[in-house]
Amino acid sequence: MGHRMEIYLSPEHAARVIAISRSFGIPAQVVGYVEASDIPRLTITGEHGTFEY
């Protein structure tokens, strides 16, 4: 299962955007986060383990 749309924004705006989405009958939730790094790396952690690329 995938996502219909992903929006990247500052955490302080997430609750408002979710409320707007739900007001139109569109389910929304926070599914992850992004943080700055000096190292070019992607880390995915889930129920099947942690994967680093």
pLDDT digits (tens, 9 = 90+) for 8-50: 999 999 999 999 999 999 999 998 888 889 999 999 999 999 9
**Cβ-contact 31, 8 below 8 angstroms:** no
The tokens 């955007």 sit on which residue? 17
Q: Report if pTM > 0.75.
A: no
CA distance 5 to 27: 11
Domain residue extents for the chain: 1-33
Give me the pLDDT at residue 3, please: 66
**Burial grade of 18 (CB within 10 A; 0-12, 13-18, 19 or more):** middle
Give me the pLDDT at residue 4, please: 82
- Asked if pLDDT for residue 2 goes beyond 70, the answer is no
